[in-house]
């Protein structure tokens, strides 16, 4: 009976992956169209110092606390997954319009780093007033965060403009949660024009950062595919009830380094989140997890390429949106 159940599970996962291809065909062209509107040299004349300004602030921040690098990377992902990479996540609530910061997986302070983006924006404005969007600042900061933590670098396509309104409903609906299964993950990525390889590579961002006990309690107490030794260690920091805010590193092997330790954890049954371990659970991305666990260079190359694709999701360009002067609020 167990073998029959496992076979059915594998068949369901593969059927889900096949269905996702149809959606990818529809939205993929939209993402490719966005690529043509962005360029790494967008500010070469209007603000040539922007790269250095962002790098300097990020270097100091990561030196002071490596978690800030993971926080900024998370902000970029959560921004791009809702309405595209338009800095809508950075907008504060107003009396009439709820923002994205408290919606869905963003709730409970699970995203931070907004003050750091504010600091970068202040320095960029001093150098190049009303020129560089908050969306582009976040894209550059995310790239620098990865590189400063030991990961790859890449030329960031630029030219995004900022949204004039948030989408709290989209934040609650579009962002995958820590309990998502592989079918839901593939569908969520496909809806943004991202393939299974992008899912596997971008999930490697969990090689840095922390997770709250509330997001992995079920994983370490209930999941059948968790390493017993790993689960026992995590239970010491995460009680069966209470202690929701207790933290654990997403990558217990090398928590402060951007490397392929995350994938080595998955192969060992030591993914912290249920959604992490779903990537290596007799499903359609198992082979990529094995590849990345054995070949850090392959992971780095695919991660950089997928970050460019992520950053090209339906950006506002041309006369759409605005260049926000304060990342927390629209221009008056």
- Which are the catalytic amino acids? 78
Among 187, 126, 157, which residue's Cα sits nearest to residue 38? 157
Name every residue whose Cβ is closer than 8 Å to that of residue 116 and which is 6 or more positions away in sequence. Answer: 57, 58, 61, 68, 71, 72, 141
d(CA 49, CA 126): 11
CA dihedral 326, 328, 330, 332 (to 10 degrees): -60
- 212: helix, strand or coil: strand
The interaxial angle of helices 114-127 and 67-80, nearest 10 deg, is 80
Do 35 and 206 meet the contact criterion of CB atoms below 8 Å apart? Answer: no
- The full length of the chain comes to 332
Structure tokens at 175: 């962002």
Backbone phi and psi for residue 163, each to the nearest 5 degrees, phi listed first: -70, 155
Backbone phi and psi for residue 61, each to the nearest 5 degrees, phi listed first: -65, -45
Among 142, 137, 190, 136, which residue's Cα sits nearest to residue 159? 136
Residue 204 sits at the vertex; the CA angle it makes with 309 and 182, to the nearest 5 degrees, is 85
Structure tokens at 1: 């009976």
Among 1, 155, 172, 9, which residue's Cα sits nearest to residue 83? 172
d(CA 266, CA 252): 11
d(CA 217, CA 34): 39
- 276: helix, strand or coil: helix
């Amino acid at each position: 009976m167990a073998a029959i159940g496992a076979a059915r599970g594998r068949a369901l996962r593969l059927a889900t992956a096949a269905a996702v291809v149809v959606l990818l065909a529809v939205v993929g062209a939209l993402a490719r169209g966005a690529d043509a509107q962005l360029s790494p040299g967008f500010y070469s004349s209007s603000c040539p110092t922007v790269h250095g300004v962002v790098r300097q602030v990020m270097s100091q921040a990561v030196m002071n606390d490596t978690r800030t690098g993971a926080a900024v990377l998370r902000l970029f992902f959560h921004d791009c997954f809702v309405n595209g990479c338009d800095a809508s996540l950075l907008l504060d609530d107003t009396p009439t319009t709820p923002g994205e910061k408290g919606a869905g997986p963003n709730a409970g302070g699970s995203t931070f780093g907004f003050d750091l983006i504010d600091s970068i924006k202040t320095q960029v404005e001093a150098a190049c007033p009303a020129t560089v969007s908050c969306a582009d600042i976040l894209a550059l900061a995310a790239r620098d965060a990865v590189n400063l933590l030991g990961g790859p670098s890449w030329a960031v396509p630029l030219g995004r403009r900022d949204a004039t309104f948030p989408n709290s409903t989209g934040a609650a609906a579009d962002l995958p949660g820590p309990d998502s299964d592989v079918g839901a993950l593939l569908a969520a990525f496909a809806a943004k024009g991202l393939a299974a390889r992008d899912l596997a590579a971008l999930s490697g961002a969990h090689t840095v950062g922390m997770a709250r006990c509330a997001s992995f309690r079920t994983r370490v107490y209930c999941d059948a595919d968790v390493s017993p030794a790993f689960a026992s260690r995590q239970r010491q920091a995460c009680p069966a009830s209470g202690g929701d805010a207790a933290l654990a590193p997403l990558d217990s092997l090398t928590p402060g380094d951007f490397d392929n330790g995350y994938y080595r954890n998955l192969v060992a049954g030591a993914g912290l989140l249920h959604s992490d371990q779903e990537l290596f659970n007799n499903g359609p991305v198992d082979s990529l997890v094995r590849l990345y666990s054995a070949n850090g260079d392959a992971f780095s190359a695919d991660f950089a390429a997928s970050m460019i694709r992520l950053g090209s999701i339906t950006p506002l360009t041309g006369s759409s949106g605005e260049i926000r002067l304060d990342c927390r609020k629209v221009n008056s």
